[in-house]
């Protein structure tokens, strides 16, 4: 089993949001990943967004996958809107 699979299958909450985000993103973008696993990765990936935004990750790095970038851009915009209310 690859390190990415090991990280993404952990049941406990990760203390490393970047590690969890990358592992989940790799799983979601891998065409061999079953749809059920992809769906399971979505909430785990989204749960990392507040910490990654606070760390300034998205100010330093750009996601290269257009679909992932658009989806997460929408999610980040929603987080920002919710925080301003």
Over its length of 85 residues, how does the chain's per-residue pLDDT go in tens digits?
454 554 545 545 557 999 999 999 999 999 999 999 999 999 999 999 999 999 999 999 999 999 999 999 999 999 888 888 8
Would you state the pLDDT for residue 1?
Answer: 44
**In terms of Cα–Cα distance, which of 40, 50, 43, 42 is closest to 18?**
50
Calculate the CA dihedral of residues 50, 16, 56, 45 and round it to 10 degrees. Answer: -50
Q: Strand, coil or helix: what is 31? A: coil
The token duo for 79 is 């987080």
């Amino acid at each position: 089993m690859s390190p990415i699979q090991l990280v993404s299958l952990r049941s406990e909450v990760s203390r490393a949001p970047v590690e969890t985000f990358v592992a989940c993103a790799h799983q979601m973008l891998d065409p061999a990943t079953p749809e059920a696993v992809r769906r399971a990765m979505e909430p785990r990936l989204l749960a990392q967004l507040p910490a990654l935004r606070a760390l300034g990750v998205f100010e330093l790095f750009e996601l290269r996958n257009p679909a992932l970038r658009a989806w997460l851009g929408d999610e980040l915009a929603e987080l920002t809107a919710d925080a301003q209310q």
